A and B are shown apart, each in its own frame.
Chain A
């Protein structure tokens, strides 16, 4: 149990070990540790960024959806309005057409009445003439009394 030259040998061994560790072991291992740390930090940052982007995209999608809903609602109201308008318009035009048809029918009826009246008048005047002829015999000359006859028939 005494101090002897082993001490010197041990010190040399120790120095060599420390030197070797310092030169060849610590730097590469520590460097890889630091690099990995950096990598992990970057990965985490990227993940966070990705999440943020997702949130942003979600927000955007929501707002787009809202916009689309609004737009579609607008379109629907517009379409309803337009449909109403069309219905009104067609109602109007139908009314007008009906009125026009009614007027035309009325005009035609009037015309027919006139025609009938005219033909009746003619027939009556002819009848009256023939009756007068029969009553008076041949005393009435058609050509002579034409003026009177027309007057009478007009009064009918």
Chain B
């Protein structure tokens, strides 16, 4: 794919160039360095911001940073309290991390598409894709982590036998055991796949449209990219929110004992 993109020119080349990650390695052991770097960097931004707020946290009149951090915390906490009725020290921080991290990933989408690749090529990088959520690896990494937590909590709360019973005997009772198992497996596996693909699809498509707008004559670009960017502010927040809420819902389902 990379060599094709390099070879071809024109609009196809432009599009492929923007959507190819900067990677090292071969086969499965390829590492998309841009995804790793930008997601870690944005994770650092997230940690730095909230750590600052947490260190300066007072019970008196809060400063701007603390105020904003607390707003997010209260927002996430309200979501968790709405759908999750158990008691867990993990779920709320998990939801906060997911929301903020995905939001920051998606925010990279709002930077003009050519800025980073131009800077990257000046620095000698052949490709640079700055939006981690347009990398399936990033979205799947998160959804698979969530999936692992779902399985872990299902077994922890219901016990291995209880979890197995749920897989085998629901929803149609013990006489349709194989069918139940099939249905349940599809249901469970659909969770991480839908989580990852929804986020990836939205952001990939959004980025693609920005790239397509980038192909237009410069005088037309603002006319289209401005409304699309404004609309995208909604999309990036919504996608982060959906991922977070679904994570909470899935985990609360894992906590529910039938």
Contact = CB atoms under 8 A, between A and B. Distances in A.
Given A4-B137, A26-B92, A26-B93, A17 B57 contact: no
Nearest to B92: A26
A21 interface: yes
A4 B32 contact: yes
Contacts of B36: 6, 9-10, 13
Interface string A1-22: 1111111111101111110111
Q: Is the interface of A mostly helix, strand, loop or mixed?
A: helix
Interface string B65-96: 01001100110010000000000011011101
Interface string B141-184: 11011000000000000000000000000000000000000000
B54 A25 contact: yes
A35 interface: yes
Interface in B42-82: 43, 46-47, 50-51, 53-55, 57-60, 62, 66, 69-70, 73-74, 77
Nearest to B34: A6
Given A18-B97, A25-B93, A32-B57, A6 B30 contact: yes
Given A5-B30, A6-B36, A39 B59 contact: yes
Contacts of B30: 2, 4-6
B144 A11 contact: yes
Contacts of A22: 89-90, 93-94
A79 interface: no
Interface residues of A, number: 32
B50 A29 contact: yes
A33 interface: yes
Given A4-B30, A13-B39, A29-B69, A24 B51 contact: yes
B31 A14 contact: no
A14 B73 CA distance: 19
A29 B51 CA distance: 9
B138 interface: yes
Interface string A82-104: 00000000000000000000000
A6 B137 contact: yes
Nearest to B132: A10
Nearest to B73: A29
Contacts of B132: 10
Given A7-B140, A25-B50, A30 B145 contact: no
B7 interface: no
B32 A13 contact: no
B1 interface: yes
A13 to B, nearest CB: 5
B249 interface: no
Nearest to A9: B36
Contacts of A16: 43
B141 A4 contact: no
Given A5-B31, A6-B36, A17-B101, A28 B137 contact: no
B35 interface: yes
A24 B54 contact: yes
A130 B39 CA distance: 168
A4 B59 CA distance: 46
A30 to B, nearest CB: 6
Contacts of B92: 26, 30
18 contacts: A2-B30, A4-B32, A6-B138, A7-B141, A10-B132, A13-B39, A17-B43, A20-B47, A22-B94, A25-B93, A26-B92, A29-B50, A29-B69, A30-B73, A30-B77, A32-B66, A32-B70, A36-B60
Given A6-B35, A36-B62, 4 more contacts: A4-B137, A21-B97, A25-B93, A36-B59
